[in-house]
């Protein structure tokens, strides 16, 4: 046969089966070698003599990202992280429950503008944080949860506290990861922290197996047996384990960039801002509803406050936005929101969501032109076209949007008659509330009177943490934060039990502030043990407990609807004695010393200034103030 014809026939027939098989084998071998780390090990060495451990890498990344506190409940799985953090000057704050550690990190994130960090041990330590992490997700708080885990080789083998932790957190977190080698610690943490703060902030979870945190010599001792293995299988297992150990520590201590990655944030376009400028310039009755998102970086709250005052548009404040305009601003409208929204011709939802807090959008008038601004696309259009219609929906940062809007409307003033009419309705409603505070309550204190006294005695540098149902619901109408970022509530999830953790994080972030926790007696039960934490870590706070011996938020509707108070009753317990037993100061306020109400409050403030956490156990009675409110 002609050689040319033979070559052509061979080319048309394609590669021979043996060549394909060889190529497949080579590719599979390369893939296996890559997965086992053999390729990486050719270029990167193991420093078997190094005393360093993975906890040091974790601490270095946290330090480089401006983290000053790590909240924790100690466990052997995470000890290297805690020890290394302390050595680098990061304050390690241990709590009495893992949920408290996450709540404290949440508060730190909200107030500092950086990521909040909690570290907990494997298994139950991690599962105890689930509610707190869900709360952070719904509150859009950038929280980094570091979780210990069983050694990678022991996963699924019945190791102590070994469960599938990532599956628990994937629905709750923006990012979840397991660190599989020491060299991965830095890039994984940098990525996690950037994701937590980017776009719509939220929690992230990074799991650290034991063997990536402890030093080489300890891990080697656990993995490799002292005696030489026998037989072919034994030798193969020993080779695998030695290679696993080498891959675990290869290149572990090489220099890596630990600086923060860029944080991404959506912004309104110039065209969108201009459209809003034109709408507002023609509006006769505009209002702004500010939600927690307006307090997020990068816009400083002082700059935002100045922009709002320049706009001159009446504002309703919710969530973390409470206090944005100070205590006595003519633009801050606190009452009659439903009525104002019926009359408004333009409504700006600045980080405010049409969920249950706005009756799913039903309180918005169909006649109003609604401008919605939100970082999160799902929240931006929640219940849209169903109960309300946005005239303009902007996916972007609400705080910077309002600043740009103010610049575009420079020289324009909102009609004063509209703002004055809303403020006058405010005064009428607040006069009614004040009158209700003077109504006698049989045998116990009037809670409204108590809250009015507290509001009057709060200093300018106070910071309020609220944790409760009925008592806190009343406080929201009466007690006013004095400045921006001076109000902490759980957010949309409505979680009870945030008080101890929020106050801990707040006091450490703002040591100069007088931090108050407004507790219901039901919610107090979740975190009263944290008085021990306050004492040990020298974080003096004041806890005011509205003790009405009842889950009143539930009872208020359950009894008239269903005719039973089952499971709602508590007792008038001596919570002030518990605080004393934990090393704090306890004060009792009741009908018997009602005339000394101001004196008791001032005594609590004096104890706090002396460095002693203080609890006021206020025995309160029932009022009709919140009749008709519901808990679902």
Residue 158 region by backbone torsions, left for phi larger than 0, else alpha for psi between -120 and 50, else beta: left
Question: Between 411 and 93, where is the model more confident?
Answer: 93
Instruction: Look at 153 and 602; give whichever has higher pLDDT.
Output: 602
Neighbours of 592 (CB within 10 A): 9
Q: Is there a contact between 126 and 167 (Cβ–Cβ < 8 Å)?
A: no
pLDDT of res. 14? 57
Q: Is the torsion defined by CA of 20, 25, 29, 31 positive or negative? A: positive
Q: What are phi and psi of 358, to 5 degrees?
A: -120, 30
Q: Which of 4-8, 137-141, 392-396 has the lowest mean pLDDT?
A: 4-8
CA distance 388 to 366: 7
What's residue 220's pLDDT? Answer: 92
- Assign 458 a pLDDT band (cuts: 50, 70, 90): very high
Helix (H, G, I), strand (E, B) or coil at 471: helix
Helices and strands, number each (H, E), in the chain: 26, 17
pLDDT of residue 224: 86
- Whether residue 489 has pLDDT greater than 70: yes
- pLDDT at residue 154 in the model: 82
Identify the bridge partners of residue 620 per DSSP, sorted by sequence position.
Answer: 445
Q: How confident is the model at residue 230 (pLDDT cuts 50, 70, 90)?
A: confident
Please state, in angstroms and rounded to a whole number, the distance separating the CA atoms of residues 16 and 476: 79
Identify the pLDDT of residue 435. Answer: 87
Block residue for tokens 């039990």: 497
Cβ atoms of 324 and 301 within 8 Å: the answer is yes
pLDDT for res 155 = 82
- Return the sign of the alpha-carbon dihedral for residues 314, 316, 320, 323: positive
Instruction: State both tokens at 498.
Output: 């945030």
Average of per-residue pLDDT across 114-121: 97
Confidence band, pLDDT 50/70/90 cuts, at residue 480: very high
Percent of the chain topping pLDDT 70:
93
Question: Is the pLDDT confidence value at 631 over 60?
Answer: no
Token pair of 485 as six digits:
């970022």
| DSSP codes of every residue in 19-86 | HHHHHHHHHHHHHHHHHTTHHHHHH----TT----HHHHHHHHHHHTT--EEEEE--TTTHHHHHHHH
This prediction has a pTM of 0.92
The model's pLDDT over 32-56, given as tens digits with 9 standing for 90+, comes to 666 666 666 667 788 888 999 999 9
**DSSP collapsed to 3 states, 437-460:** HCCCCCCCECHHHHHHHHHHHCCC
Half-sphere exposure of 103 (CA within 13 A, CB side): 30
Torsion angle (degrees, nearest 10) of CA 507, 197, 151, 97:
30
Looking at residue 125, what is its pLDDT? 97
624/436 Cα distance (integer angstroms):
9
Please give the distance of CA 314 from its chain centroid, rounded to a whole number. Answer: 29
CA dist 109 and 338 (Å) reads 32
Q: pLDDT (tens digit, 9 = 90+) per residue, 245-293? A: 999 999 889 999 999 999 999 999 999 999 999 999 999 999 999 999 9
Q: Phi and psi dihedrals of 126, rounded to 5?
A: -75, -45
**Of 249, 225, 306, nearest to 44 (Cα)?**
249
Burial code (b: 16+ CB inside 10 Å, e: under 16) for 183-211 equals bbbbebbbebbbbbbbbbbbbbbbbbbbb
**Start-to-end CA span in the chain (Å):** 89
Element (H, E) at 546: strand 542-547
Q: How far apart are CA 464 and CA 487, in angstroms?
A: 5
Beta bridge partners of 388: 384
Do 461 and 296 touch, CB atoms closer than 8 A?
A: no
26 or 554: which leads in pLDDT: 554
Q: What is the mean pLDDT of residues 134-150?
A: 97
- Give one DSSP letter per residue of 490-534, joined into a string: --TT--TT-HHHHHHHHHHH-TTSEEEEEEEHHHHHHHTTHHHHH
pLDDT at 630: 57
Which tokens in the block code for residue 623? 């009022």
Measure the CA–CA gap between 28 and 260, rounded to whole angstroms: 37
Determine the pLDDT at residue 37: 67
Relative to beta strand 286-290, strand 346-350 is parallel
What are 170-189's pLDDT values in tens digits? 999 999 999 999 999 999 99
Q: Which helix (H) or strand (E) holds 315?
A: strand 315-317
pLDDT tens, position by position, 301-351: 999 999 999 999 999 999 999 999 998 899 999 989 999 999 999 999 999
Mean of the per-residue pLDDT values for the chain? 92
Which among 520, 532, 466 is positioned nearest to 96, based on CA atoms? 532
Check residue 486 and give its pLDDT: 96
CA-based nearest residue to 468, from 503, 519, 531, 504 = 519
Q: For the sheet with 116-120, list strands across it.
A: 91-94, 69-73, 116-120, 143-149, 204-209, 175-178
| Tens-digit pLDDT profile for residues 352-363 | 999 999 999 999
Which pLDDT band, with edges at 50, 70 and 90, does 472 fall under?
Answer: very high
Segment 145-166 mean pLDDT: 88
């Amino acid at each position: 046969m002609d050689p040319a014809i033979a070559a052509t026939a061979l080319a048309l027939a394609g590669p021979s089966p043996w060549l394909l098989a060889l190529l497949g084998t080579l590719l599979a071998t390369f893939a296996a070698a890559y997965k086992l780390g053999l390729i990486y090990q050719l270029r990167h060495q193991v420093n078997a003599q190094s005393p360093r451990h993975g906890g040091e890498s974790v601490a270095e990344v946290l330090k480089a990202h401006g983290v000053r506190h790590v909240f924790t409940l100690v466990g052997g799985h995470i000890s290297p992280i805690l020890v290394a953090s302390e050595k680098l000057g990061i304050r390690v704050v241990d709590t009495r429950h893992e949920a408290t550690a996450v709540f404290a990190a949440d508060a730190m994130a909200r107030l500092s503008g950086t990521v909040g960090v909690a570290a907990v041990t494997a298994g139950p330590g991690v599962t105890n944080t689930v509610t707190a992490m869900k709360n952070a997700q719904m509150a859009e708080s950038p929280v980094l949860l570091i979780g210990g885990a069983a050694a990678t080789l022991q996963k699924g083998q019945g190791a102590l506290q070994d469960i599938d932790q990532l599956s628990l957190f994937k629905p709750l977190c923006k990012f979840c990861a397991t660190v599989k080698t020491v060299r991965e610690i830095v890039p994984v943490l940098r990525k996690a922290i950037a994701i937590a703060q980017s776009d719509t902030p939220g929690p992230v979870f990074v799991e650290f197996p034991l063997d990536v945190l402890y030093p080489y010599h300890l891990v080697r001792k656990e993995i490799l047996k002292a005696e030489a293995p026998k037989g072919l299988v034994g030798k193969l297992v020993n080779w695998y384990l030695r290679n696993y150990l080498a891959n675990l520590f290869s290149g572990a201590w090489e220099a890596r960039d630990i600086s923060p990655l860029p944080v991404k944030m959506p912004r309104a376009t110039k065209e969108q801002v201009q459209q809003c400028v034109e709408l507002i310039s023609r509006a006769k009755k505009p209002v702004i509803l500010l939600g927690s998102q307006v307090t997020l970086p990068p816009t400083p709250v002082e700059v935002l406050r100045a922009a709002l005052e320049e706009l001159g548009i009446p504002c309703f404040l919710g969530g973390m936005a409470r206090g944005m305009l100070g205590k006595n601003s003519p633009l801050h409208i606190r009452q009659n929101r439903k009525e104002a929204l019926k009359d408004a011709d333009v409504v700006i939802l600045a980080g405010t969501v049409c969920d249950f807090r706005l009756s799913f959008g039903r309180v918005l008038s169909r006649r109003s032109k609604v401008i919605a601004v939100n970082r999160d696309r799902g929240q931006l259009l929640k219940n849209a076209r169903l109960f309300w219609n946005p005239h303009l929906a902007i996916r972007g940062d609400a705080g910077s949007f309002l600043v740009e809007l103010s610049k575009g409307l420079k020289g324009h003033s909102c009609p004063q008659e509209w703002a004055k009419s809303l403020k006058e309705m405010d005064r009428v409603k607040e006069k009614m509330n004040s009158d209700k505070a003077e109504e006698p309550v049989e045998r116990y204190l009037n809670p409204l009177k108590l809250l009015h006294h507290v509001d009057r005695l709060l200093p300018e540098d106070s910071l309020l943490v609220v944790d409760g149902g009925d008592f806190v619901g009343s406080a929201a109408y009466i007690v006013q934060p004095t400045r921006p970022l001076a109000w902490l509530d759980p957010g949309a999830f409505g979680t009870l039990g945030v008080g101890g953790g929020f106050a801990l994080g707040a006091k450490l972030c703002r040591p100069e502030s007088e931090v108050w926790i407004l507790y219901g007696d039901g919610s107090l039960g979740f975190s009263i043990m944290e008085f021990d934490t306050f004492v040990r870590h020298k974080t003096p706070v004041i806890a005011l407990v509205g003790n009405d011996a009842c889950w009143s938020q539930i009872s208020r509707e359950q009894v008239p609807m269903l005719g039973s108070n089952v499971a709602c009753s508590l007792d008038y317990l001596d919570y002030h004695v518990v605080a004393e037993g934990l090393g704090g100061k306890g004060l009792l306020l009741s009908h018997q010393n009602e005339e000394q109400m101001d004196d008791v409050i001032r005594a609590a403030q004096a104890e706090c200034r002396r460095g002693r956490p203080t609890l006021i156990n206020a025995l309160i009675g029932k009022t009709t103030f919140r009749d008709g409110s519901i808990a679902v």
